[in-house]
Structure 1
Amino acid sequence: MGRLLRVLAEHWPEDTRLAAKCATFAGDISPKGHSLPLRIAGGLHALVLQNKDAGLTAAYPPHHASDAALLEATLAALHTHDTFLTNWITHAPQTNEVRRSAVLIATAHLLTNHIGLPIKLSELGASAGLNLMFDQFHLAVGDGYGPQSPVTLSPSWTGPFPPQTDLTIANRRGVDLNPLNSADPDDALRLQSYLWADQEERLLRTQAAIALNTAELDQEDAITWLEHRLAAPKTDELHMIYSTVAWQYFPEERQNHGTALMDAAGAQATEATPLAWLSYEADDNTHGAALTLRLWPGNHTLHLGRADFHGRWVEWDAPTKLP
């Protein structure tokens, strides 16, 4: 990715429709905004994944090409597939990093050990819902968690290991403004195209998760959806609400409203109908994302540690016993 973007920065083809569209693109094009360079790179990777351009494929991993060969192949692809790439960047990047499920698995075991109830899952900003399937993944730390699975997560783990329990997921559902159907070839392509082309392990892991995915998703504003989800009749189960690097992109007003909704729902929680809210999100610390768990009844806030944004490492600092 670094090599690709550097050569494009030095040799950008101004004579393409793509360049004209980029020049007039409104808003923040940086990673904190529309991530325009990522959109372009994703479109090029999509061509490789579809074998639409032999020259570009030959310059991409696992092949090794010089900067000059990479530049020649990329410039040719930008001209040949100008219409495709111009349309591609209209849509925002969308990923579903499966390695973040390591934290979800650990948290679910921690909660089950403490509460012992079946779990109802609600994911905010679920993308394609791959991380709603975390109980079907294997976390290969300590003695291992979960079933043997084609999706195996092996983060660098520091700190204590969570307790071993038998998870029961009673209900799972997610929401996204633009949910992707991983069974649809176009949506599956979009998920994979935004993974770095030289990270084959991530591609294979995502493909394996797509094959397991049966999560149900709704297309709606996440906080509006959450209000309905919290208002549903209560049963004897733990409601675990979570987001992984999604909440931070919600408008502040929606964040405030969502927090108020969970505070109100938490105030009504009982030992038979507890509520947990896990946040795996950026904060002021640049070292990965903060892992914060709020738990009701009791309105407890627990700091579980930190994790890499892509789940490559987890610094687990959860208490051995919950309040």
Structure 2
Amino acid sequence: MSTAFQRQAKACESLGSPFMGQLIRLFETRPWPEGQIRDRMFHWPGDISPRSQSITLRLTGALHALRLDGHDGLAQVYPPATPDDDTLWGAISAALITDAAKIDRWLDSPPQTNEVRRSATLIAVGHWLADRFGLPIRCSELGASAGLNLNWHRYAMTAQDNHFGAADPVLTLSPDWTGVLPPNTRPQIVAQAGVDLNPLDPHRDALRLQAYLWPDQPHRLALTKAAIGAADTAVTRGDAIDWLSGRLSHEPGQLHLIYSTVAWQYFPETKQHEGRALIEAAGKAATDANPLAWFGMEDDGGNAGAALTLRLWPGDLRIDLGRADFHGRWINWTAPATNA
């Protein structure tokens, strides 16, 4: 249990949330009040780490949901307040007792977010592909959650004082950008669809989407609220690879973009192998009139952020696009020129 708290606290701090680091370290070091939450957390079966059942984020999400829902006690200690450790732990301990039933129900479900800032990488990829192929784009997102990143073509991104994406965006992303800029060619999206094992409805499940954002990062909350307000594409419930197998036929005059952002890495290894084989087989049938692109923003074990990788057919070209922060705070773009 202690190791899981330590790892999660360090991860939150490295991603710019000192409040979450403070809170989680208190879970590690302070005596918990007796009751059903302590008993459940301390006797949780199986792998409790952030890459598996992630019980730490289940608990912090439950507490943030209470705060967002108007909990008076937590309102006194959550940002913008800056409580000392004793004051914060006093309010948390009280909530673990008085709101145990609500927290316990929340613990039943794993954390599920839809980090909108990852769409900055999709905007950059969209511009790059539009410039290279000059074709309308059909999108398939694997692990789409609530579908907020299916709407990337309706968002904008600013990078080094340049504007990319939608001319009249519902929200604007501003990652710290290093490297060459994407081409100015704006992509035309003709269809988009996504799949998830447990898709969230962005309107019905708005509280869940917001609760897993970190309380001292109000800019993320504002972006997510804007994306929820514009969400209009339902996500299919199902296995991502099974779903994808029915979408790999080519449409003449369209580029098919398959993508995932911090999702593929959680698929079972057997499904990854099956999905890779399906995509490669479809790629062999691609032509210049109906090309195929496979983009991933995924953890490759590197020292910083996620790898941005792209495979293109015809030709099975493998292109290193650079790296990005897991929450989209920064992008280091190394894509070659589109005519390279």
Report the TM-score when normalising by structure 1: 0.96
* Residue of structure 1 in register with 2:277 after alignment: 260
* Residue of structure 1 in register with 2:41 after alignment: 22
The separation in 2 between residues aligned to 1:12 and 1:37, in whole angstroms, is 16
* Residue of structure 2 in register with 1:112 after alignment: 130
Q: Does 1:8 align with 2:27?
A: yes
1:149 is displaced (CA, Å) by 2.7
Contact 1:14-1:20 at 8 Å conserved across structures: no
Q: Deviations over 1:181-223 (max 9, x none)?
A: 0011xx1111111111010001111111111111231000000
Q: Does 1:210 align with 2:210?
A: no
219, 234, 248: which one pairs with 1:201? Answer: 219
Q: Percent identity?
A: 50
The separation in 2 between residues aligned to 1:213 and 1:268, in whole angstroms, is 33
40, 43, 58: which one pairs with 2:76? Answer: 58
Q: Secondary structure at the match of 2:118?
A: helix
143, 150, 153: which one pairs with 1:125? Answer: 143
Aligned length: 319
* Counterpart residue identity of residue 196, structure 1: W
Higher mean alpha-carbon deviation, 12-21 vs 93-102, is at 12-21
184, 192, 200: which one pairs with 1:180? Answer: 200
Q: Deviations over 1:123-158 (max 9, x none)?
A: 000011111101111101142112243411110100
* Residue of structure 2 in register with 1:152 after alignment: 172
Q: Does 1:161 align with 2:181?
A: yes
* Residue of structure 1 in register with 2:91 after alignment: 73
Alignment of 1:272-287 (within 5 A): 272-287=289-304
Higher mean alpha-carbon deviation, 108-117 vs 16-25, is at 16-25
Q: Secondary structure at the match of 2:319?
A: strand
Q: Does 1:317 align with 2:337?
A: no
1:322 is displaced (CA, Å) by 4.4
Higher mean alpha-carbon deviation, 256-265 vs 212-221, is at 212-221
* Residue of structure 2 in register with 1:44 after alignment: 63
Contact 2:201-2:234 at 8 Å conserved across structures: no
The separation in 2 between residues aligned to 1:262 and 1:320, in whole angstroms, is 25
1:228 is displaced (CA, Å) by 0.8
1:71 is displaced (CA, Å) by 0.8
The separation in 2 between residues aligned to 1:22 and 1:322, in whole angstroms, is 55
* Residue of structure 1 in register with 2:10 after alignment: none
266, 283, 298: which one pairs with 2:315? Answer: 298
1:269 is displaced (CA, Å) by 0.6
Runs of 4+ in structure 1 over 6 Å off: none
Q: Secondary structure at the match of 1:239?
A: strand
* Residue of structure 2 in register with 1:248 after alignment: 265
1:14 is displaced (CA, Å) by 5.0
The separation in 2 between residues aligned to 1:217 and 1:41, in whole angstroms, is 26
The separation in 1 between residues aligned to 2:234 and 2:55, in whole angstroms, is 30
Distance 1:140 1:222, change over 3 A: same
Contact 1:172-1:216 at 8 Å conserved across structures: no
The separation in 2 between residues aligned to 1:211 and 1:251, in whole angstroms, is 33
The separation in 1 between residues aligned to 2:220 and 2:337, in whole angstroms, is 31
Q: Deviations over 1:11-31 (max 9, x none)?
A: 242522112222332221111
Distance 1:82 1:226, change over 3 A: same
Q: Secondary structure at the match of 1:197?
A: coil
Q: Deviations over 1:149-189 (max 9, x none)?
A: 341111010001000113211000000000010011xx111
* Counterpart residue identity of residue 171, structure 1: A
